[in-house]
């Protein structure tokens, strides 16, 4: 059942993105920013956590999950470090995911040889 919930919630997030692409003149970069900011705001207000508890990876893997991760990291760092946590919390929270993304991007660049069309 957990997989079904993750599939449905992740699919709904993707459908929202596709509707924004099809029905508005927003660029994909702006839609990306909207999703991350929405996740950050919802995470900061505590509204995204119930969705994460319900859908698991269906809510944490898409872009709003990244914003939720940033907001959670900032909240935790502010509780521990005070004002300085505003600047360090988000970076600390996303460090693992960013490291993996850079590593796999580098490995892909070494493995594959792109050709111009």
Could you please report the per-residue DSSP string of the chain? Answer: -HHHHHHHHHHHHHHHHHHHHHHS---HHHHHHHHHHHHHHHHHTT-SHHHHHHHTHHHHSSHHHHHHHHHHHHHHHHHHHGGGHHHHHHHHHHHHHHHHHHHHHHHHHHH------
| Residue ranges making up the domain that contains 60 | 2-111
- Would you say 44 and 64 are in contact if contact means Cβ atoms under 8 Å apart? no
Beta carbons within 10 angstroms of residue 43's beta carbon: 25
**Residue 44 has what pLDDT?**
87
**Residue 97 has what pLDDT?**
84
Q: Assess if residue 84 is contained within a domain.
A: yes
Q: Assess if residue 117 is contained within a domain.
A: no
Q: Assess if residue 41 is contained within a domain.
A: yes
Structure tokens belonging to residue 60: 């944490």
Q: Assess if residue 92 is contained within a domain.
A: yes
Q: Look up the pTM and report it.
A: 0.78
**Residue 36 has what pLDDT?**
92
pLDDT tens digits for range 44-70: 898 999 999 999 989 988 889 889 988
> 3-class SS at 61?
coil
pLDDT tens digits for range 64-77: 988 998 888 999 99
Q: Assess if residue 40 is contained within a domain.
A: yes
Q: Assess if residue 75 is contained within a domain.
A: yes
Give CA torsion, residues 74, 75, 78, 83, to 10 deg.
60
How many structural domains comprise the chain? 1
Which DSSP category does 112 fall into?
Answer: -
**Residue 116 has what pLDDT?**
75
Q: Assess if residue 116 is contained within a domain.
A: no
**Residue 18 has what pLDDT?**
95
């Amino acid at each position: 059942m957990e997989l079904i919930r993750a599939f449905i919630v992740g699919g709904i997030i993707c459908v929202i993105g596709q509707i924004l692409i099809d029905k508005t003149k927003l660029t994909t970069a702006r839609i990306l920013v909207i999703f991350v900011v929405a996740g950050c705001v919802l995470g900061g207000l505590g509204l995204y956590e119930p969705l994460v508890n319900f859908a698991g990876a269906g809510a944490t893997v898409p872009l709003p999950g990244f914003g939720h991760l940033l907001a959670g990291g900032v909240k935790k760092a502010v509780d521990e470090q005070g004002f300085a946590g505003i600047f360090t919390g988000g970076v600390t929270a996303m460090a693992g995911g960013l490291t993996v993304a850079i590593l796999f991007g580098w490995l892909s660049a070494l493995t594959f040889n792109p050709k111009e069309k």
